[in-house]
Chain A
Amino acid sequence: MVAAVGERPRAQILIDIDKARTSRRRRSRLIFVGVWIAILGGIIGAFASTGNTDIEWIAEWAPFILGGSGITILVCLCSIVLAVVLAIFGALGRISKSPVAYAIASFYVSLVRGTPLLVQIYIIYFALPTISPLLILPAIPAGIIALGFNYGAYMTEIFRAGIEAVPRGQIEAAEALGIPKRLVFRRIVLPQAVRIVTPAIGNEFIVMIKDSALVSIIGVQELLWRAETSGRPALNILEAFFIAAMVYWVLTIIFSFFQGRLEKRMARGDR
């Protein structure tokens, strides 16, 4: 074996090195998956071995809980759209030379980031209607507004960074063509900024999937609400919340996968 090294053609050695690397990589991946399955199997096995696990209940109610993921995703999609719109205006305010706009945007960011999301949900759903009956909202819209409002504040800073990352020369080129400032922002700066922050928005969306569990508190019939309402009366609490946790987990894995691909595609993009 040792003596053979000198005699083998170099091309063959390179191929062998490559093969060895590929098989090493494949082995680590296999081990990775194996460890995950082992841990997960261990947890599930531990639960099952307590004898308290009600398989029949799971079979009956799992589809009901799972159905909540549709509402979860719907709420998150609507909220992220609202958050993006708010974040664009927030970012505009934060980079504005108008002290009034800057003050309003800063107030928004400071207030929202300085209070718990749960309190914001309570205020929007329970407290605002006491001011005027016009502010009474159904649970889903109230949840969407609360989440969107909250995430808009956090994403304001993301968008501000994105807008500032658009090269100065782009604005100069547009202005040199005589394009009015408003249009320069809408047509030249904003599309490029959105591209820059798209991976970050994806990330926020994934975080939001988990935070959206909080709107179960006002009766939005999403994942956690369904787990709670089905599991608690039947005392199948462990099963219910375990299923909910797994669904959240799978959702974040799925969206992380797409977000990762998006990020890669963006990185490849222009320039």
Chain B
Amino acid sequence: MTESRLPDLGERPAPAASGYDRGSALPTHVGEPIVKVGALHKYFGENHVLRGIDLEVRQREAVMVIGRSGSGKTTLLRCINFLEEPTEGWVEVDGVRLQADPLRARNRPHQEQIRQIRLRAGMLFQEFNLFPHMSVLDNCIEAPMRVTRLSRDEAVARAEGYLDKVGLSDKRDEYPSRLSGGQKQRVAIARALCMEPKVLLFDEPTSALDPELIGEVLVVMEDLAHEGTTMIVVTHEMHFAEEAADRVVFMEDGVIVEQGPPEQLLRDPRHEETIHFLRRFIDR
């Protein structure tokens, strides 16, 4: 039934996974590919949510994924660290490559591989998901102490560093319930950074925030991007994407329709769907 609305895949050359296929030069600061996604499919029951995604993200690159709700962008992000087991395809993060295996998803070796990927890919959620029964500092040192086996002193020192980076070192002993939404998301960012992941995955990090609190989170993210943190960000903040992205990826109906540098994709999109989608956002 939905078939008629789908973009005609046959007549369009599939975009190269790296996104730098149109002769646009690779930004000089980016390095080798660190996240690779190949032929990724995801079904929820009958619903074909991801329909063959190929994507490569390079070191120090900030990639923003945009698209309508329901286009599969959040699912793509959640498939990268296997919060959703893809139905088909593979994911590679920092050399750890994992083939989707929905039938054996609960097997121990598969779970351990997933954990290895998660240690390399930090995730930020729309709802922050701070642990409410732990102080800000405990939120930050829990995983480094229990997973990376850091000593408490080392973990605290590291956490203090990252809390300082997000501007919240004075809140280290507060409980999450006493923080504003923007502060919670900044703590969540510090918590993710404490595991020193190779890439940060942001799933609409400002969508649950009051408008006046969005800015403080975006500032932190922009700083991270400019410092060369590798990140994949699902977002509706087009101005932020324009400022901070090295590359913008536009998704629709479970495929990557178009991607490129922000000034090209946001200002001069080539595909009908992209133009149509962006009409709502970009002021002419």
Q: Are B125's CB and A178's CB within 8 A?
A: no
In whole angstroms, what is the CA distance A172 to B106 when docked? 15
In whole angstroms, what is the CA distance A167 to B175 when docked? 17
A53 at the interface (CB under 8 A from B): no
Q: A97-B106, A172-B83, A270-B176 given as contacts; is B147 within 8 A of A178 (CB)? A: yes
Contacts of A175 in B (CB 8 A): 83, 118
Closest to B131 in A: A188
In whole angstroms, what is the CA distance A161 to B7 when docked? 45
- Tell which of A167, A169, A177, A269 touches B143, judged by Cβ atoms closer than 8 Å: A177
Contacts of A270 in B (CB 8 A): 132-133, 175-177
Closest to B114 in A: A175
Nearest CB of B to A29, in Å: 34
Q: A172-B83, A172-B125 given as contacts; is B175 within 8 A of A180 (CB)? A: no
* Residue-wise interface mask of B (119-154) relative to A, using a CB-CB cutoff of 8 A (1 in contact, 0 not): 101110101011111000000001100110000000
Q: Are B118's CB and A178's CB within 8 A?
A: yes
Q: Are B125's CB and A187's CB within 8 A?
A: no
Number of chain A residues whose Cβ lies closer than 8 Å to a Cβ of chain B? 23
Q: How many A-B pairs with Cβ below 8 Å? A: 67
Q: Are A192's CB and B125's CB within 8 A?
A: no
A271 at the interface (CB under 8 A from B): yes
Contacts of A195 in B (CB 8 A): 133
Contacts of B142 in A (CB 8 A): 177, 179, 187
Contacts of A177 in B (CB 8 A): 118, 122, 142-143, 147, 191-192, 195
Q: A176-B81, A180-B115 given as contacts; is B132 within 8 A of A169 (CB)? A: no
- Best-surrounded residue of B127, B146, B176 (most CB of chain A within 10 A): B146
A binding-site residues for B, Cβ under 8 Å: 97, 167, 169-170, 172-181, 183, 187-188, 191-192, 195, 269-271
Given A167-B129, A180-B147, 12 additional A-B pairs, CB 8 A = A97-B106, A172-B83, A172-B125, A173-B123, A173-B125, A174-B131, A176-B121, A177-B143, A177-B191, A177-B195, A178-B143, A180-B115
**A-B pairs with beta carbons under 8 Å apart, 20 shown:** A167-B129, A170-B131, A172-B125, A173-B131, A176-B83, A176-B123, A177-B118, A177-B122, A177-B191, A178-B119, A179-B143, A179-B146, A180-B115, A181-B111, A183-B146, A183-B147, A188-B131, A191-B133, A192-B133, A270-B177
